[in-house]
Structure formats: C-alpha cells, structure tokens
Amino acid sequence: KNVANISEEMESLTANIDYINDSISDCQANIMQMEEAKEEGETLDVTAVINACTLTEARYLLDHFLSMGINKGLQAAQKEAQIKVLEGRLKQTEITSATQNQLLFHMLKEKAELNPELDALLGHALQDLDSVPLGKYV
C-alpha cells in the first residue's frame, strides 16, 4: 500500500513538473518573441499576450507592472525634488553673485572717486556697469 501511494505521488509530481516545464517553455517563447519584436522594431500584440496568459501569469504580470509603475513614479518624484533643490541653489547663487557684483561695483566707484587715475582707467567701464540693472536678483 505504501509503494502504491508513493507511485501515485510520484506520477502526480512528475505530471506537475511536466506542466511547469511546459509553462516555462511557453514563457521563454513569449520572451524570445518580445525580444525579436523589440530588435526588429515591431510592436508587440499585447492583446495576444494577455489572452495567452494563465491566471497565475496574469497576476504576476499585474504585480510586476504595478510595482514597476510605482517605482518609476517614485523615481520621477525624487528627480523632481532634486531639480527643485538644484534650482533653489542656482537661484541663491545668482542672488549671491549679483550682491557681490553690486558690492564690488560700489567699492570700485568709491575708490575711483578718490583716485583720478583709477577713475580715468575705469571711467567708461563703471559708467556701463552703472546702467546695468543688477537689482533684479536682490
């Protein structure tokens, strides 16, 4: 009786393994078809793939694509946050640069008022700078 039970169990497991191997072969064939279509630039018939899926495969695909979609959305949100931080840093750098330029301009202007040689040397440059609106950042 034990040998008969073991034989039945062996046959059942062998049939199960054969079914799984067939499913793996089908999946591999579908993957190869997708890869070939990708290389040839063809569009894949998604409906045919969906119709050929078993319930277990469909659940796996749904889980995989939902996870992938959530991960891609999270990555996009993280990149957007990084962009906002970098834009803020850029704006702060622009403000700092404009402030430093204004300070340098005023210091040069004061020195030029006290030093006629420097005034003659920088005269036109300081007049040109005086007409540039540096206050747009400040």
For residue 138, what pLDDT band results from cuts at 50, 70 and 90? very low
Q: In the structure encoding, which two tokens stand for residue 86, read together? A: 């970098």
Asked if residues 44 and 37 have their Cβ atoms less than 8 Å apart, the reply is yes
127 dihedral zone (left: phi>0; alpha: psi -120 to 50; beta): alpha
Q: Does the predicted model carry a pTM greater than 0.85?
A: no
- Give me the percent of the chain exceeding a pLDDT of 70: 85
Average pLDDT over residues 90-102: 93
Position with higher pLDDT, 112 vs 92: 92
- Spatial distance between the Cα atoms of 116 and 121, rounded to a whole number of angstroms: 8
The 10s digit of each residue's pLDDT in 103-121 is 988 888 888 788 888 777 7
* Residue the block writes with tokens 């007049």: 127
DSSP secondary structure letter of residue 134: G
pLDDT for residue 133 is more than 60: no
The 10s digit of each residue's pLDDT in 7-26 is 888 999 999 999 998 888 88
- Spatial distance between the Cα atoms of 79 and 9, rounded to a whole number of angstroms: 54
pLDDT for residue 124 is more than 80: no
- Give me the percent of the chain exceeding a pLDDT of 90: 34
